[in-house]
Amino acid sequence: MQKLFAFIFNYRVTFVFLGIELFCLFLVFSKNDYQKTAFVSTSSNVTGDLVSTKQGVTDYFSLDEQNQALAEENARLRNLIIKHRALTTIAPNTPYSDEADKFRVYAAKVVKNSIHNHNNYITINIGSDDGISAGMGVVTESGVVGSVVSCSEKYSLVASVLHSQTLISSKIKRIGTLGSIYWTGRNSTELGLKYIPRHVKLQKGDTVVTSGYNAVYPDGITIGIIDDFELQDNQSFYEIKVELASELDKLNFVYVVENIHSLEQLKLEEQIEQ
Amino acid sequence: MAFCFVYVALILVLPYEMPPITVLLIGFGIGIIIDIFGDTLGMHAASTVFMAFLRPTILKQLTPRNGYGQNFSFSIHETGLLWFLAYAGLLIFSHHLVLFLIDAAHYKLFGQALLKTFTSSALTLLMVVIGMYLFSGGEKR
């Protein structure tokens, strides 16, 4: 017994090291992303306040670009209003579109962003107090950004599309073929598209958009452009590289999209799976 | 591409006499703070603790001919540039290796992780040495 104690005492540093290291690795590889991110991350109120103060200072250095982007966005929205008015005056009783009623949009500001890890997260400055909840989609005017994974009262954590578990139901706009978008992990602009069968004729430059079969994003939001594709002789699906449309390294303002019917849709789909 | 994690210098310059377990705990503390603000929970903590664990071994291997002596401190003036490069280089490399391997585990992109380890280690080492010259310049005795 005494020898055992002596052994433990002699190697106490190693034991403490192993203990802490295993705990850290448990934190890294524990599968439950949602709990983990709610537990300690930049979306908690304290660290959220700190990073948003820091962002408040650094924002001044890109005011020009931000103004430019907002002005362009304004112009685009004005155009939409005009088109919408034209539609409703021509036929006042026809609903504009089902899709438009199905989604509610919240504007948010990015307070922290990362693109260099293998699981990247974005922190935005609205949270459960503003009506945000986990599972909502996040987009910009140029394309898809990610989806909300957890919220505090004032901040939300968004898993960016640059995440190892990203899987977005998508389609090729020109021909309507369905596939799934994932991140290849190589760099911050390259996504992959899988499950496009070999009989489809692809072209470089084809636009890939969200399919609307998922409950997160509206139909037809741009994801990216096909950059390169390859077809092995023994494979039934293409290997496709897609260039991401939204510039994730320059995010300032994003829109959180709430699908009002998402619960209903998910419940129905679960019933079928059972 | 290379990334710079200068915070590892805090572990490098902890007093020589400090008990190894204290160094481990400080390493864990620093790592977890970096993780909380970087949304990388556990990654930096794991690699900083690993580096803190290796520190006594590497210090032993690199013992100067007449020992470390009284009042030894980790300033380049005292240790000499070459000794410091070897000491800091080995530890920084071990830290970055663990960090990038854990990061790449999701994707099996180990080749890229190794490349990042080499380039980032070189960059961090350079920054740490510059920092050491800047902040410990006045302590000549």
- A-interface mutation test, from B4, B39, B116, most A Cβ less than 10 A away: B39
Tell me the ipTM for this assembly. Answer: 0.83
A50 contacts B109? CB cut-off 8 A: no
Q: What is the DSSP letter of A162?
A: E
What pLDDT shows up at residue A94? 45
B56 and A119: CB-CB below 8 Å?
A: no
What is the share, in percent, of chain B residues with pLDDT greater than 90?
Answer: 48
CB A174 within 8 A of CB A127: no
d(CA A83, CA A73): 15
d(C-alpha A263, C-alpha A216), whole Å: 10
Tell me which fold the domain A168-249 belongs to.
Thrombin, subunit H (2.40.10)
| A160 min Cα distance to partner chain B (Å) | 12
Residue B63: per-residue pLDDT: 82
Q: Let me know if A164 is exposed, middle or buried by CB neighbors in 10 A (0-12, 13-18, 19+).
A: middle
Q: Do B39 and A114 touch (CB under 8 A)?
A: yes
How confident is the model at residue A93, as a pLDDT? Answer: 47
For each of chain A's 274 residues, which pLDDT tens digit applies? 788 888 888 888 899 999 999 998 888 877 555 545 555 566 677 777 788 888 878 888 888 788 778 877 877 787 677 666 655 554 444 444 555 567 778 888 888 888 888 888 999 988 899 889 888 999 888 889 999 998 988 899 999 999 988 899 999 988 989 999 999 888 888 999 999 998 888 889 999 999 878 778 888 888 999 999 988 888 889 999 999 998 888 888 888 888 887 777 778 888 887 7
For residue A21, the chain B residues in CB contact (below 8 A) are 46, 49-50, 53
Cβ-contact A114, A122 below 8 angstroms: yes
**3-state SS, residue A258:** strand
pLDDT of res. B89? 94
Q: pLDDT digit string (tens) for B119-129?
A: 999 999 999 99
* Dist CA A31 CA A28 (whole Å): 9
CA-based nearest distance B136→chain A, Å:
28
CA distance B56 to chain A (A): 10
What letter would DSSP give residue B14?
A: S
Residue A30 confidence (pLDDT): 73
Chain B touched by A17 (CB under 8 Å): yes
Predicted local distance difference test score (pLDDT) of residue A95: 44
Contact between B104 and A118 using a beta-carbon 8 Å cutoff: yes
What pLDDT shows up at residue A36? 55
Kindly report the nearest CA distance between residue B69 and chain A, in angstroms.
24
Q: Are A144 and A158 in contact, with CB atoms under 8 Å apart? A: no
Tally A–B CB contacts below 8 A: 88
For the segment A104-132, what is each residue's pLDDT rounded down to a tens digit?
788 888 888 888 888 889 999 888 998 89
- pLDDT at residue number A28: 81
Provide the token pair at B123: 């960059």
Q: In this complex, which of A13, A21, A40 lies closest to B41 when CB atoms are compared? A: A40
In this predicted structure, what is the pLDDT of residue B26?
95
| Res A33: pLDDT | 58
Closest CA to A72 of A125, A142, A138: A142
Is the pLDDT confidence value at B141 over 50?
no
**Are A143 and A153 contacting, i.e. CB atoms less than 8 angstroms apart?**
no
- The string of pLDDT tens digits covering residues B57-106 is 999 888 877 777 777 778 887 788 889 999 999 999 999 999 988 887 76
pLDDT band for B51, please (50, 70, 90 cuts): very high
Interface test with B, best of A21, A43, A51, A166 (most B CBs within 10 A): A21
Amino acid at A175: I
Please tell me which of the candidates B40, B46, B103 has its beta carbon nearest to residue A21.
Answer: B46
Q: How far is the alpha carbon of A95 from chain B, nearest alpha carbon, in Å?
A: 44
The verdict on a CB contact (< 8 Å) between A26 and B42 is yes
Structural domain spans, chain B? 6-136
Contact A13 B112 (CB under 8 A): no
